[in-house]
Chain A
């Protein structure tokens, strides 16, 4: 599996912090981050990190034939989530959960995980995955 070092470096804050932008005029939060509000066209925006909020699970799937380099992690659980405060919909890996434990509207929290790695000797890519919120007695 080939990884571009400059790309991993350039995108690291997006992967670690889920950097987004919030429009100070219409209030919409945009993810991925953008210099212009895609809802109202305003450039009056501020930066927010979606890693600072929990999310609800809207839907999910299990991938039993994952891409190369990830076969040992199957089934890969992928969720469609909506962040609770900013109402941003995003797609993310799910972790620390078994497929049969997932349910709609489950509260999930972001955690840093090893997302992929370039073989046994190459770089390790870290990023955010979501897991059932600790202490919420959902599992």
Chain B
């Protein structure tokens, strides 16, 4: 049986207005002033006091729906990939869906796999769309990333959201030509139940986790498709800092020029489930029909997916239908560490 392929019908992002400089975090916690720079980090986006995964995901999804221009009643699944959901028990997906006026006859879940849950939701979407189970899905990657105050992770852990409407290829701005996953039991970064912040294995998050999983996923994709790095105009990897994506690109044979357009972590931080996806969104906003994109998110624990995506003519007519990544990048106001602490609930207080 030959199945029609699935693709991206619309995309949307959200980045909060507020930014804190990595140098401010280094100053407060006594890091060497060059520490953030050494891992390619300048500043990060910070969600406001009334924002969370649901509110950010709502705005990204609203933008994706504006670009998709579809009948909302035909959305058959809403999946939210997050590791910072407001309710430990109670799906974020149903709040976002209700607030967008989406139909109630749909699948709805929050998925968790560190930074790659939304990526898995894309692969699930490809499955349910290609099988004909549903016409469209809405995938949201949204995180108000947590980091233990004073830990090196705090330089990068940021807030942002990206949403994709996925559906049949003949309506798509970009078609999923092929995709593979590579997962294993590798404990490089974790957060125990009830713990407010994650812990990580420092250098162990690199070679056995990030690099091993992404390299294996991408090599498997190359093996299955016969494609090679020069077949891609852009490549977007998960971006926990500004250096890892450039290193993994080099190892796999990609050039810095293929990585740079989708590399946003240096200026907005690592938005976890939105990290690779927001880079992919920015690439769609500059891509031309016929461009091929390699997308390879990663999540600790650990796993990676690799997608080969072909941009279609429709991308040109959709770009301007909603605010772009660069519109959100341009809207920024710096805050100090104290304001950031208040916004992200880092100051212990009792409610009155």
Give chain A's interface residues, CB within 8 Å of chain B. 12-13, 16-17, 49, 68-69, 71-73, 93, 95-96, 111-115, 119-120, 124, 126, 129, 134-135, 139
Chain B residues whose C-beta falls within 8 Å of the C-beta of A71 in the assembled complex = 352
Complexed CA–CA distance, A114 and B87 (Å): 13
Partner of B55, one of A13, A119, A126, A134: A126
On whether the beta carbons of A69 and B55 are closer than 8 Å, the reply is: no
List 13 extra interface pairs beyond A113-B50, A126-B55, A135-B330, CB under 8 A: A16-B99, A68-B352, A69-B351, A72-B49, A72-B351, A95-B48, A95-B50, A96-B48, A111-B58, A113-B55, A115-B50, A119-B351, A134-B323
On whether the beta carbons of A49 and B101 are closer than 8 Å, the reply is: yes
On whether the beta carbons of B331 and A134 are closer than 8 Å, the reply is: yes
Number of A-B contacts (CB under 8 A): 61
Specify the chain A residue showing the minimal Cβ separation from B326.
A135
On whether the beta carbons of A111 and B59 are closer than 8 Å, the reply is: yes
Docked complex: B29-80 residues within 8 A CB-CB of A? 48-52, 54-55, 58-59
On whether the beta carbons of B327 and A17 are closer than 8 Å, the reply is: no
Q: Which of A12, A124, A126 gathers the greatest number of chain B CB atoms within 10 Å?
A: A126
Complexed CA–CA distance, A73 and B339 (Å): 12
Q: A73-B49, A95-B48, A96-B48 are in contact. Are A17 and B54 (CB under 8 A)?
A: no
On whether the beta carbons of B98 and A114 are closer than 8 Å, the reply is: no
Chain A residues whose C-beta falls within 8 Å of the C-beta of B330 in the assembled complex = 135
Give chain B's interface residues, CB within 8 Å of chain A. 16-17, 48-52, 54-55, 58-59, 86-87, 95, 98-99, 101, 323, 327-328, 330-331, 342, 349, 351-352
Specify the chain A residue showing the minimal Cβ separation from B342.
A72
Query: What is the CB-to-nearest-CB distance from B342 to chain A, in angstroms, rounded to a whole number?
Result: 7
Query: What is the CB-to-nearest-CB distance from B97 to chain A, in angstroms, rounded to a whole number?
Result: 10
Chain A residues whose C-beta falls within 8 Å of the C-beta of B101 in the assembled complex = 16-17, 49
Chain B residues whose C-beta falls within 8 Å of the C-beta of A112 in the assembled complex = 54-55, 58-59, 99
On whether the beta carbons of A124 and B87 are closer than 8 Å, the reply is: yes
Q: A73-B49, A135-B323 are in contact. Are A120 and B99 (CB under 8 A)?
A: no
Query: What is the CB-to-nearest-CB distance from B105 to chain A, in angstroms, rounded to a whole number?
Result: 17
On whether the beta carbons of B86 and A17 are closer than 8 Å, the reply is: no
Chain A residues whose C-beta falls within 8 Å of the C-beta of B327 in the assembled complex = 134-135
Chain B residues whose C-beta falls within 8 Å of the C-beta of A120 in the assembled complex = 351
On whether the beta carbons of B87 and A16 are closer than 8 Å, the reply is: no
Complexed CA–CA distance, A13 and B98 (Å): 8
* A-B contacts, 6 listed (Cβ < 8 Å): A13-B98, A17-B101, A71-B352, A112-B99, A114-B54, A134-B327
Complexed CA–CA distance, A113 and B342 (Å): 17
Query: What is the CB-to-nearest-CB distance from A49 to chain B, in angstroms, rounded to a whole number?
Result: 7
Specify the chain B residue showing the minimal Cβ separation from A98.
B333
Q: A112-B55, A129-B50 are in contact. Are A96 and B17 (CB under 8 A)?
A: yes
Chain A residues whose C-beta falls within 8 Å of the C-beta of B16 in the assembled complex = 96
Specify the chain A residue showing the minimal Cβ separation from B322.
A134
Q: A95-B48, A113-B55, A134-B328 are in contact. Are A12 and B98 (CB under 8 A)?
A: yes
Query: What is the CB-to-nearest-CB distance from B120 to chain A, in angstroms, rounded to a whole number?
Result: 25
